[in-house]
Amino acid sequence: MLKNDKSVGLSGDFEIVIGRGKGSAIRLTAEEVPHIAKKHAILKRVRDRLFIQDLGSDVGTILDSRRLPKKMWEEIVQKTIGYNEIKLGETPIGINAQLFRGRPRVGIETTALYYRIFDKLICNGAYIRAKPGTMTAIMGPAGCGKSTLLDLVNGYRTPTSGKVFVIQDKEPINVHQDYAKVREWLGYLPQDDVMIPELTVYQSLNYCLRLQFIGLAAAIREHIIRQTCRHLGFDDSRRLNKFLNTVIGSSESGIRGLSGGERKRANLAHELIAMPLILLLDEPTSGLSSVDADKIVRLLQKLTRLDQLTTIATIHQPSRDTFERFDTLLLMNHGGTVAYYGPSQEATHYFEQVTGISSGKRNPAEYLLEILDNPYYNQKVTESFEGANQFQFITPRRQ
């Protein structure tokens, strides 16, 4: 087992040598690993990704029965159970599981947030409490302040009153007071993309990586770009290469490029390659068919679980399948108030109890928004939530 020594911290990036020489941060003897070189391999962590490179050893470094090319970076991938098998020559070695996580997971917690523009209150007491590994949907009628709430959470806007905290190891960090501390943890996908239309997807992603990780080896950048796009559904090599080599394009520039679904994936890839811990998305499915929208949300769900991200997305009127992929629903009302905040699966039952109107076989999102469009029932659900459940989740019903 390769355990941490003084030069291998549990947090932060590192690059360390494995071998039998005195200069190796992780020293192994010839008894432990026969024919080990003085400098056998390099272990490198970039945020939450772990890479290994063989330094030209005689017996080689083996990853899943495949001998690595000399002086080429390869990623050690953590799986649901365990990780890639690693050998130095014929000797299997283990990796401390903590080495795969360069940063503790973080969540978001706010007080009641208020945001006023002149005499108009855009956000009126809405709040969020989201944990790692969960997906939260912010839904509500047009103009209710969904995007504004997301801007308050990501630090783009400062609330008139209220506070936003990133929670790391149970310690709150104020987003607006200590933005520099949390900046790299926050990934934000706006409704309108800001990609350069003349570049290919690969050129654009590579440019972003070079800006964020100065000095990162080209081979690692290549791997991160390709692996990120594979996570977004481009499993087939031909499709992946075509996607990466396609010019981004735009209707404004007159350059024909990516399709609507591909643009959404390209936008998402630009955020994911930076390896955020909190992913904030403003209408990530707008303009897509219900099939493509569900594909995007399904991919987000997979990544959220796999990397234990805290994912929060505004969404207009999702299909039933898309709606049910979210763990939590924050339903905002006209005027920036909260009509419901709790498990997505419990929302329709809660509204049925309060209003006496059955949802039947309707799409849950359509049913909820129809209730809010009725002034009488709108007032009932708002008063019920504010009176009985202010500043907490709706308690799920017992089975």
What's the residue count for the chain? 399
Instruction: Extract the tokens encoding 321.
Output: 């399948």
| CA distance linking residue 349 with residue 352, whole number of Å | 5
| pLDDT for the residue numbered 389 | 56
Question: For residue 277, what are the contacts with CB-CB under 8 A and spacing of at least 6?
Answer: 103, 105, 106, 132, 185, 186, 309, 310
Is residue 214 exposed (0-12), middle (13-18) or buried (19+ Cβ within 10 Å)? exposed
44: phi then psi, degrees, rounded to nearest 5: -130, 135
- What strands lie across the sheet with 86-88, from one edge to the other? 66-67, 61-63, 86-88, 91-93
| pLDDT for the residue numbered 280 | 97
| CA distance linking residue 320 with residue 302, whole number of Å | 18
How confident is the prediction along the chain (399 residues), in pLDDT tens digits per residue? Answer: 554 444 455 568 889 999 999 888 888 898 888 999 999 999 999 988 889 999 999 999 999 889 999 888 888 877 656 667 899 999 988 877 777 777 889 999 999 999 999 889 999 999 999 999 999 999 999 999 999 999 999 999 999 999 999 999 888 999 999 999 999 999 999 887 788 999 999 999 999 999 988 888 898 999 999 989 988 888 889 999 999 999 999 877 778 889 888 888 899 999 999 999 999 999 998 888 888 889 889 999 999 998 899 999 999 889 999 999 999 999 999 989 999 999 999 999 999 999 999 998 899 999 999 999 998 988 888 888 876 655 555 444 433
Contact 153, 108 (CB under 8 A): yes
Contact 124, 356 (CB under 8 A): no
The most distant pair of C-alpha atoms in the chain lies apart, rounded to whole Å, by 79
- Evaluated on CA atoms 18, 20, 21, 22, the torsion sign reads positive
Domain boundaries, the chain: 14-100, 106-190+315-388
Number of alpha carbons in the 13 Å side-chain half-sphere of residue 311: 29
Q: Do domains 14-100 and 106-190+315-388 have the same CATH topology?
A: no
| CA distance linking residue 330 with residue 347, whole number of Å | 10
* DSSP tag of 221: H
Long-range contacts of 177-184 (CB under 8 A, 24+ apart): 179/155, 182/106, 182/155, 183/155, 184/274, 184/276
| pLDDT for the residue numbered 308 | 92
41: phi then psi, degrees, rounded to nearest 5: -155, 165
| pLDDT for the residue numbered 4 | 41
Q: 14-100: what CATH class? A: mainly beta
CA nearest to 108, candidates 311, 301, 388: 311
Contact 103, 185 (CB under 8 A): yes
- What strands lie across the sheet with 49-54, from one edge to the other? 26-27, 14-19, 41-46, 49-54, 74-76
Instruction: Extract the tokens encoding 181.
Output: 């501390």
| CA distance linking residue 319 with residue 311, whole number of Å | 19
Q: Which residue, chain included where needed, has tokens 């329709």?
A: 348
CA nearest to 166, candidates 155, 156, 157, 158: 155
CATH of 106-190+315-388, one of 1.10.3720.10, 3.40.50.300, 1.20.140.10, 1.10.10.10: 3.40.50.300
| CA distance linking residue 222 with residue 111, whole number of Å | 41
